[in-house]
Structure 1
Amino acid sequence: MTKQVYRAYNFNAGPSALPLSVLQKAQEELVDFKGSGMSVMELSHRSALYEDVHNQAIALLKELYGMPEEYEVLFLQGGASLQFAMVPLNFLAEGQSAGYVMTGSWSEKAYEEANKLGQVYQAASTKEESYRRIPAPSELQIQPGSAYLHVTSNNTIFGTQWSDFPETGDVPLVADMSSDILSKPVDVKKFAMIYAGAQKNLGPSGVTVVIVRPDFLERATQNVPTMLRYDIHVKNNSLYNTPPTFSIYMLGLVLQWAKEQGGITAIARRNQEKAGLIYDAIDQSGGFYKGHAEKDSRSLMNITFRLQSEELEKKFLAEAKSAGFVGLNGHRSVGGCRASAYNAVPVEACQALRDFMLEFQKNNG
């Protein structure tokens, strides 16, 4: 008889839910990986057994996105926060400027870091509207000859997401996709670079994925510390120093899981369904719940909302916690409530949250 596994309704913003089957596979292989008598965590990163794990993860990500073979995939450390500095260090040459589209706290952090290293400008911003929406293409003011234009594809704190990415012409497009990578189809060819911390949709914390186009890589300066050079990591297949081997192994398992789900298109359909359940509860509440994001900018990953008073929000969060829901508090900088429905969050968890929201409104409306 199979033992029933208790799983919380995990709506944490990150680190976030992982597929149960992935965790069970890792558990099964934890002590003895493929007959080696060692855990993946104990393997040499120079061993053939680990290199197979490493290269399979790269191949799976390329396959899932249908990206051109020449694109490079890197596994780095330091999270998206290190990328905020690495991107301008490598690509913001003296005499050039780079544009940043301001859509939330993480784009602010990326802009501030780049501003320490070179000339940057804000190509658009919705800060004065409390970041309730994504700028329209007509609002973007991209300076000709910019080193790149940087966007944050999904905004975890404010619950907004780009539905379509801007056309930037000759200006390379760079995207921080930390919180919605692998959640919907994306034409990778539109981007010079994509980077993403793994801990939302790709795996556990500890590894950062970078996807870079070769012609963009050729623009990179070499006058930066070795460990901060993308070309060094490309030349060494992300094995210049010891990589976060276990996180990369887990990332590979998540990518295999995504393939078994039917790929990114199937995952996107399920994400639409999951988010729709919760947004419907908000929209049909008659104002009892109020979403933060404007409807055409809503995130499928992070559903942000408020109740009619802070007192009612505290009651909602306390009762939700007692009912087994985890991670529904809004970010400390904005308050309110937030349900992060990343890829591995099952439909059933979103159905349960929708039902809880309807029942709470019935009892407190």
Structure 2
Amino acid sequence: MSGNSLFVHHGKALNYRFHDQHPFHPIRLQLTLDLLHDLGALDSSQMLSYAPATEEQLLRVHHPTYLEAVKQLSSPSPDPVWISRAAQYGLMDDDTPYFAGMHEAASYVAGGSIAAVDAVMSGASTHALHLGGGLHHALSAKAAGFCVYNDVSVAIAYARHIYGARVLYVDTDVHHGDGVQWSFYSDPEVCTYSIHETGKYLFPGTGAVQERGEHQGYGACLNIPLQPYTEDESWMECFKESIHRVTDYFKPDLIISLHGCDAHALDPLSHMHCSMAIYSEMPSILHDLAHAYTNGRWVAVGGGGYDIWRVVPRAWSMLWLEMSHHPLKLSINQLSQSKLPTTWLDKWQSQTHVPLPTDWLDDLSRWEGIARREEITSKNRETLAVALQDYPAI
């Protein structure tokens, strides 16, 4: 498997930060960068800087009055009139409170995802990773779920407008990719796929199998809502079958995937029971699909993940190791070669009271079993069958 890869990053995207106690904290990205550097898996020749998204680019997805609200509330001392309107734009609640410099920081996040699309569609690279991206809950005129500007929707709209690309969007975050789905719900040239914990019990409450798109876009939307406490085997069974079917059916020019790693059992904001195994295997499947269907054109972004010490750095690093075809990725499953670098552990352990993992993969022999495993697996299979009923078998 050939192809070069770029790691898209800009320091100003780290300013996308609500406050120190907020679960969506940019230290997740710094931990991952440090881990990759300590591994010798990321050098300056692979890194791509970029400009912020322009208003024209943001307005392909977001409403003008919403952009104005974000800009006004980005002031260190916003006008009281705009503060009084903040709630109507989703910028006053605990999830997504307005903060100083918000517009610039969110514009840099969106700019990174656009730069990743440009790099791949122009032929500058085969794959591109923008871990600072993945704000998939933002709506046209409202912030939601830690997301101000929907960088993924902006990047997809850019790929459509500039390159005329037929885009398959793959969302593996534990929360439904609602903002991206609604942005392209009637567009037959953008297929949105989301595998997530059922919205019966989890934010944002959407993503049922019945959500299939509308008008000309009917059939270009696929949701796989899984039961709480789903484990690796059932998650991977549902993912493999559905992603192969939808990719073969849609035949995209470009794959854009979102890699929230909050389906892990340690994540505090969901109820799933997966391990690092899915974050090793799932990118490999997407990598193969990109080379089989899109001449390798693959853009990946970050997303959720709120066990920022034990889960996110490992999952996101494995994604880059896969995208860059690093030899370490091939050896991670071998126990003798699966240790994290001691330099990284020594640097960061003093920053947290949580014991950092020493291995890439989890030792599942120490995990408690799920009593309802058979029932959960059966229900997930039923959901999968309903979701795929309109997609021909390969």
Structure-2-length-normalised TM-score: 0.30
Structure-1-length-normalised TM-score: 0.31
Structure with the bigger percentage of strand: 1
> Which has the higher relative contact order, 1 or 2, with Cα contacts under 8 A spaced 6 or more apart?
1
The structure with the larger Rg is: 1
